[in-house]
C-alpha cells in the first residue's frame, strides 16, 4: 500500500499515514531537525526530514 500524504492548502504537511509499516526509526539530528526512516514489508523505504526554526518537541503516548 502507498503512503497517504495529505497537505494543507498552502502545501505544508498535514497528515501522513503508512499502513502496515514493518520498521519506523525517528532520530533527532539537531535542535530543529528530525529524520525518520520507514520500511514497508514489501521492501520499499521512505525517508522524511522534519525541520523547524524552533526546537521540535515530541510526545509519545501508549494506547491500549
Local structure of residue 33 (DSSP, 8 states): E
pLDDT of 2: 77
- The answer to whether the beta carbons of residues 24 and 41 sit under 8 Å apart is no
| Maximal C-alpha separation, the chain | 36
Q: What is the per-residue pLDDT across 3-53, written as a single tens digit (0 to 9) for each?
A: 898 999 999 889 989 888 899 999 999 989 999 999 999 999 999 999 999
Give pTM, 2 decimals.
0.75
Amino acid at each position: 500500500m502507498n503512503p497517504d500524504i495529505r497537505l494543507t492548502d498552502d502545501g505544508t504537511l498535514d497528515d501522513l499515514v503508512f499502513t502496515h509499516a514493518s520498521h519506523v526509526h525517528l532520530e533527532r539530528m539537531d535542535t530543529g531537525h528530525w529524520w525518520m526512516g520507514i520500511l514497508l514489508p514489501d521492501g520499499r523505504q521512505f525517508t522524511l526530514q522534519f525541520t523547524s526554526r524552533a526546537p521540535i518537541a515530541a510526545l509519545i503516548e501508549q494506547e491500549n
